[in-house]
Amino acid sequence: MLGCIADAELYRTMYSNLDAWRGVNVAMRAFKNQAASRLSLSITRLRGARHAHYRRLISLPLSKPSVAAMSPDMASVAQRHVASWPRDTPTNVLPLTEHLMQDLAIKLLFGEDHERAMPIARKITYGAAAAWPFPGRAYWNWLRVAPKLETEIMEWAAQKRGDIDPKDILSILVNNPDERGEPATRELIGGILTFTFGAAYETCQNALNWTLLLLTQHPVIAIRLAEEIDQAVGRGSPSMDKIGALTLLDGVVKEAMRLFPPVPLGFRRSMIETNLGEIVVPSGMRVLASAYLINRNPEIYRDPSRFDPERWLNLQPSPYDYTVFGAGGRMCPGAAFGTQMAKIGLAAILSKYRIELAAGTRIDHRTSITLSPSPALRIIFRDKTTVPVAVPFAGTVHELVDLPVAM
């Protein structure tokens, strides 16, 4: 039995009662003795003392002070990537932003071990694509790749055993006992690593991609934002000490993630018989929560399908009304990291280029555990002196957002 909700108060009921509701794996189940099943033991599926223990461990390098200290390195990496992107030619930015975000996650959260980490990141992408409750080609590809991924993770973990680094999430997992004082199991290390590593780049790259698309369709806002960034950064680096207080940048990123939440759907399962509003929910029932719809509540967001960054000048919704990072005791511990990655990545791009959508583009949306453009996002990076124009495009994205220009 499957229920669906798109109401902030019902969302609050589910996400604030950890005893009654548990996170579940979105993907179709694999057999227990398969690597794909072991790697599905993410932090979202842990409960009680085990969840509290591992949430505390992985939250240490993701705390606000730790993330703020990453800002100069994050900006330097972003500038280096962006400087190498092709100019004046239609370019699919999806692999570019993916590589950028993977590089940042490896450098800042996984000990800068790019040689081991990058092949693992590529395999984790197969798992994200398969995160859907029905089998398909992506699911069978994931079953094929998962054993290789698990082997590579455990080899990487063995290398870090005894090498304690409080800034490295894998080192933290390997070198700390579980909540009972026992060594962490293969399932815990592999599952939590797969989830946190994938979430660290997959959600951020999608947030950046959707923001770029929205700005190509709103060139006046794009120019204003570039001017705001240029005034703050000058010829320097777009670190958070320079861009952290920019109001339009903050509004653009928040608004893009409202319209295109990186994780659009959340699944919970009732552990006991409980109430959800006026409905009695039996034990074992799965309920889908739609961040996409909750973020479009017209009582909070006027013209909810319109891109309006300035609404955030006077808007402070609760996490239950703005469900980008979850809420309650299961709120994403990487919220500060993800937001900072998106802001610095966007600032690095707009401080160097004008952006324009390539003509004749079709952009659809693909929903798995994340919401992403499909099959490509072709953008032209122009000189800063160029006056950008909104180029119309076709595709199912128009079902998700009201844009000023449509094909």
Q: Which residue has the tokens 């999608």?
A: 206
* Separation between Cα atoms, residue 314 and residue 303, nearest integer Å: 15
Q: For residue 130, what pLDDT is reported?
A: 77
Domain count, the chain: 1
Is residue 380 in a domain? yes
Task: Give the pLDDT confidence of 304-363 residue by residue, as tens digits.
Answer: 999 999 999 999 999 999 999 988 878 889 999 999 999 999 999 999 999 999 999 999
Residue 227 lies in a domain: yes
Q: Given this model, what pLDDT does residue 251 score? A: 98
Mean pLDDT, residues 112-130 taken together: 90
CA–CA distance, 403 with 407 (Å, rounded to integer): 10
Tell me: pLDDT of 135 over 70: no
State pLDDT tens for residues 246-268: 999 999 999 999 999 988 888 88
Percent of the chain topping pLDDT 90: 78
User: In this structure, is residue 317 part of a structural domain?
Assistant: yes
Distance CA 386, CA 232 (A): 21
List the domain range (segments joined by +) for residue 163.
2-399
Q: Is residue 186 part of a domain?
A: yes
- Determine the distance from the C-alpha atom of residue 291 to the mean position of all C-alpha atoms in its chain, rounded to a whole number: 13
Q: How confident is the model at residue 158 (pLDDT cuts 50, 70, 90)?
A: very high
pTM score, whole prediction: 0.94
Mean pLDDT of 19-35: 76
Relative orientation angle of helices 247-259 and 186-217, to the nearest 10 degrees: 110
Beta pairing class for 286-290 and 2-5: parallel
Rounded distance, CA 117 to CA 180, Å? 29
* Residue 27 pLDDT exceeds 70: no
What lies within 8 Å, CB to CB, of 272 at 6+ separation is: 19, 20, 283
152: CATH: 1.10.630.10
Residues in the chain: 407
Is the model's pLDDT at 365 over the cut of 90?
yes
Give the mean pLDDT of 288-311.
Answer: 95
What is the rounded CA–CA span in Å between residue 282 and residue 395?
40
- Tell me, what's the pLDDT at 327? 86
The lowest-confidence range among 89-98, 134-143, 205-214 is: 134-143
> What pLDDT is recorded for position 133?
60
Mean pLDDT confidence for 387-391 = 93
pLDDT at 238: 97
Structure confidence at residue 138 as a pLDDT band (50, 70, 90): confident
Whether 103 is covered by a domain: the verdict is yes
What pLDDT, on the 0 to 100 scale, is given for residue 26?
61
pLDDT for the residue 193: 96
Mean confidence (pLDDT) of the chain: 92
**Cα dihedral sign for 385, 241, 99, 373?**
negative
pLDDT at 29 > cutoff 80: no
Asked, for residue 407, whether it belongs to a domain, the answer is: no
pLDDT band (50, 70, 90) for residue 196: very high
Residue 30 binned pLDDT confidence (cut-offs 50, 70, 90): low
pLDDT at 94 over 90: yes
